[in-house]
Amino acid sequence: MFVVVLAFSAWFLYPVMRNVMQPWNNPTVLKDEVRAAEWIDVNVPVLSHFSGDLFACEMLTAVARQVCSVGGAWELADRPNDRYSANERVFLTNSSEEAHRLLLQYNSTYVLVADRTSFYAYGWKKPELEKFKDERFFELLHRDGRALVYHVIE
C-alpha cells in the first residue's frame, strides 16, 4: 500500500515539480555565451573587468580568464551585498544611465549579456537588453546568437 501511495503521489506531483524546477534544469549558460567567452579570451585583454549574471561570470572566469563583478569568491569583495545588488540592477533596470553609472562604480569595462532568463533579485527573470543599445554608454563589440559583448564607454 505504501508503494502505491508513493507512486500515486509521484505521478500527481511530477507536473508541479517539473514546472517549479524547470529554470534550474535548463542550461544556465547558453552555447552562444560559451562561444562569446571564447571570443573574449582571444580579443579582450586577460583580467579585464566584466559584468554579467552570476552564471555568465562564473563561466567567464573559467573560459576567458576575466575578472567578473560577481561569482567565484565575490562574497569576499568589499561590500559584497551592495555589489551583488548593484550588479542585478545593471541587468534589470530600463535606464541606460543607471546601468552605466553602476558599471563604472564597480570598474566594469565590459558586459556579457544574453537573451535568456537568469536568477536575478531572487527570481528567474530576463534582463532588460534595450538599454545596452544606447551608444552614448555602450559599444557592441561582438554578438554570437543570443549572447552580446559590450564595451562600457567611459
* Structural domains of the chain sorted by starting position, each given as residue range(s) with its CATH number in brackets: 28-152 (3.40.50)
What is the value of pTM for the model shown?
Answer: 0.84
Q: Which residues 6+ apart lie within 8 Å of 41 measured at CB?
A: 63, 64, 65
- Distance between CA atoms of residues 53 and 133, nearest Å: 18
C-alpha cell belonging to residue 99: 546601468
The three-state secondary structure class of 15 is helix
Q: Which residues 6+ apart lie within 8 Å of 79 measured at CB?
A: none
Residue 110 has a pLDDT of 98
C-alpha cell belonging to residue 154: 567611459
- Distance between CA atoms of residues 92 and 89, nearest Å: 5
What do you get for the CA distance between the two ends of the chain, in Å?
A: 68
Q: pLDDT in tens for each of the 154 residues of the chain?
A: 777 776 666 677 667 666 666 666 666 899 999 999 999 999 999 999 999 998 999 899 999 999 998 876 666 677 888 889 999 999 999 999 999 999 999 999 999 999 999 988 888 899 999 999 999 999 999 999 999 999 999 9
- Distance between CA atoms of residues 70 and 38, nearest Å: 19
Residue 6 has a pLDDT of 65
By residue count, the chain amounts to: 154
Residue 28 has a pLDDT of 81
